[in-house]
Structure 1
Amino acid sequence: MIHRSHSHLASPVAWLAKPYPEIVDIAENDGSVLIVPVGSLEQHGYHLPVATDTLLATAVAHAAAEDVHESLPVLVTPPIWSGCSPHHLPFGATISLETATLLEVLSDVAGRALENGFDALLFLNGHGGNMPVISSAVSDAGHEHPDREVLGLSYFHLARAVIDEVRESDPGGISHGGEFETSLMMHLYPELVDETQLEGTQRDEPYDLGRQDLFADGPLSVYRTFDEYSHSGAIGAPELATAEKGKRLFVHIETELSDLLSEIHTQNSTRK
């Protein structure tokens, strides 16, 4: 696996860099798959850029699609860069869409994209606050296009199998701008990580059934603005992040998503 350029303009799977006849030709191939990265524009503490979720979802999408593009028809759209992030608004520099607005955007993007002939569309999410909206968009777009397959996935869930081997933090150390995201950013975009400002607060959710961590998600939903958890905006242990951890996590996530894309292609190869 090779280290990709931070610019996706030269990527062989970039929708935004192709003329329209080539996009339509790829879509009309049997078992074609389109990936739509969905991120956010929200604060990530003192040390990470506000586009962290968008950058990571897009990087994962391109890496996995590039791995398989020679054996299956796949493209990646530009990311949807604003998500549902009202819990980050107290810190500033966050642009959040209303839930209904994001759902309408996702449904419209899926509808227009599928009209080009793609057999399957995968929303690849990078922000925890988007997850319920992604699920609704999958249902709405799937209902509107019963002859196509619509799927949704949060990329970070693909790291679950290896996270305990990689992490050093206790539960609460991987939440928002913590060990996990900071490690991935150190691997992919080290120039955007301010290592002099690695400051986070361990997540302390009072309800045992609530979310304790990105990988310890309880069944109880509760709304809190993130300034209730952290004065910096980062929740977790960014001081434990390393580029080596980020590389190991990224390679695993990339491989898992590549395998999923191949499976989606196989499942949809007889639709035309």
Structure 2
Amino acid sequence: MTAQAHLGVSTTRRLDRLSWPEAEKALQQSRSTVVWPMGAFEQHGPHLPLATDALFSERILASVLSELAPNAPIWSLPSQSIGFSPEHSGFPGTLSLSSGLLTQLIIEVGTQLCTQGAKRLVLFNAHGGQIGLLQSAARELRVQSPSMAILPCFLWSGVPGLDALIPEDELRGGLHAAQAETSLMLALEPELVGEARPVD
């Protein structure tokens, strides 16, 4: 196994694994794009880990980036694994940032990336509870950094054929810790799925 294969896609596409001259060159490219995987640190029923959303955003992003041409000017930031989860604060283990703090974090990081030359920032979010907040933060960042496109996107939106695979009541009531998330975790990290799950 080569060092590259052992280290995996995270080292070839992670902005934080570059030296500063490499990062400068990367961000100055004409189509430079930075993707920020975003999750949450919250309860996901008695059977899924607190890091479910963060794990999903990291792993799906790594899979997508591994399929890109080697010269594609796209890099990933480290995952933002604590998000906006006040609705789950009654469950032990849940950690949540305030809406203002998460918005300010996105604005500050995004502004710095823009100053350094990034042309696009993708907020790759896997936590349904912060979709609106990230859309709002993206609009605020765009005002301060008009030369950079800010693109909030949600992991479960726009996947062809997905609706046909999910029960109607889950589509109406939300995906949180239900069949879709449980199935994805079983595919990615089956050892993290507990037995006390509401559906098999």
* TM > 0.5 fold call: yes
Q: Could you tell me whether the CA contact under 8 Å between 2:31 and 2:119 is conserved in 1?
A: yes
Q: Could you tell me whether the CA contact under 8 Å between 1:46 and 1:197 is conserved in 2?
A: yes
Equivalent residue in structure 2 for 1:171, among 169, 172, 190: 169
**What is the CA distance between 1:142 and its match in structure 2?**
0.9
**What is the CA distance between 1:143 and its match in structure 2?**
0.9
Q: Could you tell me whether the CA contact under 8 Å between 1:39 and 1:83 is conserved in 2?
A: yes
**What is the CA distance between 1:10 and its match in structure 2?**
4.5
Aligned with 1:147: secondary structure?
coil
Alpha-carbon distance change, 85 to 27 in structure 1, aligned in 2, over 3 angstroms = same
Q: Quote the residue 2:184 is aligned against.
A: 184
Alpha-carbon distance change, 8 to 112 in structure 1, aligned in 2, over 3 angstroms = farther
Q: Could you tell me whether the CA contact under 8 Å between 1:35 and 1:124 is conserved in 2?
A: yes
Letter in 2 for 1:125: N
Structure 2: 5+ residue runs without aligned partners? none
Alpha-carbon distance change, 62 to 107 in structure 1, aligned in 2, over 3 angstroms = same
Q: Quote the residue 1:217 is aligned against.
A: none
Q: Quote the residue 1:152 is aligned against.
A: 152
Corresponding position: 1:17 with 2:17: yes
- Per-residue CA deviation, residues 195-223 of structure 1 (Å, 9 max, x unaligned), is x2112xxxxxxxxxxxxxxxxxxxxxxxx
**What is the CA distance between 1:182 and its match in structure 2?**
0.9
Q: Quote the residue 2:64 is aligned against.
A: 64
Q: Quote the residue 1:90 is aligned against.
A: 90
Q: How many residues align?
A: 193
TM-score calculated relative to the size of structure 1 = 0.66
Question: What is the percent sequence identity of the aligned residues?
Answer: 26
Q: Quote the residue 1:140 is aligned against.
A: 140
- Per-residue CA deviation, residues 53-100 of structure 1 (Å, 9 max, x unaligned), is 111011122222222242420000001111111110111210011111
Query: Which aligned runs of 4 or more in structure 1 are off by greater than 3 angstroms?
Result: 7-11
Letter in 2 for 1:89: S
RMSD: 1.9
Distance in 1 between the 2:100 and 2:141 partners? 14
Aligned with 1:57: secondary structure?
helix
Distance in 2 between the 1:29 and 1:94 partners? 39
Distance in 2 between the 1:120 and 1:151 partners? 8
Q: Quote the residue 1:162 is aligned against.
A: 161
Q: Quote the residue 1:37 is aligned against.
A: 37
Q: Could you tell me whether the CA contact under 8 Å between 1:39 and 1:57 is conserved in 2?
A: yes
**What is the CA distance between 1:8 and its match in structure 2?**
6.0
**What is the CA distance between 1:16 and its match in structure 2?**
2.5
Q: Quote the residue 2:55 is aligned against.
A: 55
Q: Could you tell me whether the CA contact under 8 Å between 1:57 and 1:124 is conserved in 2?
A: yes
TM-score calculated relative to the size of structure 2 = 0.89
**What is the CA distance between 1:20 and its match in structure 2?**
2.0
Aligned with 2:90: secondary structure?
helix
**What is the CA distance between 1:17 and its match in structure 2?**
2.1
